[in-house]
Structure formats: C-alpha cells, structure tokens
Chains A and B, each alone.
Chain A
Amino acid sequence: GQSLEQPSEVTAVEGAIVQINCTYQTSGFYGLSWYQQHDGGAPTFLSYNALDGLEETGRFSSFLSRSDSYGYLLLQELQMKDSASYFCAQKRDTGRRALTFGSGTRLQVQP
C-alpha cells in the first residue's frame, strides 16, 4: 500500500521560514501534491512535483527527491493566515484515480 509520513505539528513566528517534510512509499509513484486546510474549511491545492527539484509558487515552494522518497513544502515570510493543516498527497497506484493523504502537519504561526 501507500503511506506518507509527516510531522504532526510545527510552530513558527510571523515572517519566518518553515519546512514541512513528507516521506512516502514508492509503489506506483506519480508525483507528490500538497494541500492546505484551514480549520472548518476545505482542502485547497498548493503545489505538485512530478520530477526532482523545486517548484516555486509565490511564498510557497515544494521540493521532491525521488531517490530519497522525500519531499517538503517550504513556506516563506510566514503570515498568521498560514496557520492551517498541510497535507502531502500521493496519487494512487496504476489505474486508480484518487489521492492518498499524509497524516497532516498542523502549522501554528505565532506573532
């Protein structure tokens, strides 16, 4: 099967940089996605990596190393509104259209 491991909680201050790591299993790997979910809200797509390297989207960047089965989400210039849960997600095995989500990392941004 597929499982993705993330730290359960991360705390940082406004203006700082934070990195949320994700390790995954390699069976049927089609890339790693990141989703943000505020309390009471819906998950929203942030970023996707299919190939090794860094993808940058504004303050958020995502990195993938397929040889290490590892990726991370980098959030820069943290703002209070970035306090949320962040999930890495892996597309499922061949022929199955759906995502398997990591356990989620709760980010708390403090003043």
Chain B
Amino acid sequence: DTEVTQTPKHLVMGMTNKKSLKCEQHMGHRAMYWYKQKAKKPPELMFVYSYEKLSINESVPSRFSPECPNSSLLNLHLHALQPEDSALYLCASSQDRGAGAGTDTQYFGPGTRLTVL
C-alpha cells in the first residue's frame, strides 16, 4: 500500500469555524508533512513530524495547529482562518532517512481543497 489518504476532499468554512484536516498512511513511514499550495505555485512546507515529534514549523500562524496522534495519522486543526488561507492542503509521508541519506521520496495525498469565506 503506497497510498496517503486525506479527508475531507473539499472543505468550506467561515472565519469563526473550527475544523480539522486528516491524513493517514500505512507505509510505515516515520516522517509526515503538511504543505500548503496556492494555484499555479509550488507546495510550501508548513510542518514536519519525525517519529511523531514536531521537528519543523515554518513560522506558520497559530490558527493552524498540527497534531500527530500516532505514526500513521496526522491532523491539521484549523481555527479562525482568513480568506487568504484558502488553498490546497497536501499531506505527505516519507521513510525519514535523515538529512544526508538519499532522496527520502515523499508520497503525497490527494489534498484537501479549503475555501475560507
């Protein structure tokens, strides 16, 4: 199974709502990532979890709150978002071979398309 799943596929929320994005993988990968992608732009890294610990936070606003309940699951909790946060949110996973070893290929989920009204 080389699949990363994400739910929901689409999400529309108001600026006062609280919602969560979910990501799951069963490849035994120990690194999981959240990326944000705007139209016609490359994915931008938000967070990295390595062995269920947050290892990178790319100065993301606190209205985005990641959580890694176990090695297969990754959540992104959303609260008080702004319209400019509307984007495709991509989850990815990799084996996590560390900084120097090989490519550490990332497998991406299909994404959640988020619209903030």
A87 located at the interface, meaning its Cβ lies under 8 Å from any Cβ of chain B in the complex: yes
Candidates B94, B96, B100, B108; contact of A43 at CB < 8 Å = B108
**Which of B13-21, B38-46, B65-73, B76-84 participates in binding chain A?**
B38-46
A48 located at the interface, meaning its Cβ lies under 8 Å from any Cβ of chain B in the complex: yes
Q: Do A45 and B42 form a contact, CB below 8 Å, given A94-B99, A94-B100, A96-B56?
A: no
Taking a contact as CB atoms under 8 Å apart, the answer to whether A97 and B90 are in contact is no
Taking a contact as CB atoms under 8 Å apart, the answer to whether B98 and A42 are in contact is no
Q: Do A48 and B103 form a contact, CB below 8 Å, given A102-B42, A103-B42?
A: yes
Interface residues on B, range: 20 to 34
Chain B, interface SS category: loop
Taking a contact as CB atoms under 8 Å apart, the answer to whether B104 and A50 are in contact is no
Chain A, interface SS category: loop
In the assembled complex, 12 residue pairs joining A and B whose CB atoms fall closer than 8 Å, in A order, are A31-B102, A42-B4, A45-B106, A48-B102, A87-B43, A91-B103, A92-B99, A96-B56, A96-B99, A103-B42, A104-B41, A104-B42
A95 located at the interface, meaning its Cβ lies under 8 Å from any Cβ of chain B in the complex: yes
Contacts of B74 in A (CB 8 A): none
In the bound complex, CA of A45 to CA of B94 (Å): 11
Candidates A33, A48, A101; contact of B43 at CB < 8 Å = A101
In the bound complex, CA of A106 to CA of B108 (Å): 19
Taking a contact as CB atoms under 8 Å apart, the answer to whether B104 and A91 are in contact is yes
Please list the residues of chain A having a beta carbon within 8 angstroms of any beta carbon in chain B. Answer: 30-31, 33, 41-45, 48, 50, 87, 91-104, 106
Taking a contact as CB atoms under 8 Å apart, the answer to whether B42 and A101 are in contact is yes
B25 located at the interface, meaning its Cβ lies under 8 Å from any Cβ of chain A in the complex: no
Q: Which residue of B lies closest to A28 (CB)?
A: B99
Shortest Cβ gap from A48 to chain B (Å): 4
Taking a contact as CB atoms under 8 Å apart, the answer to whether B48 and A44 are in contact is no
Taking a contact as CB atoms under 8 Å apart, the answer to whether A97 and B50 are in contact is yes
Known: A42-B108, A97-B99, A101-B44. 11 other contacts (CB 8 A): A31-B102, A31-B103, A41-B110, A48-B105, A50-B102, A87-B43, A94-B100, A98-B48, A101-B42, A102-B42, A104-B41
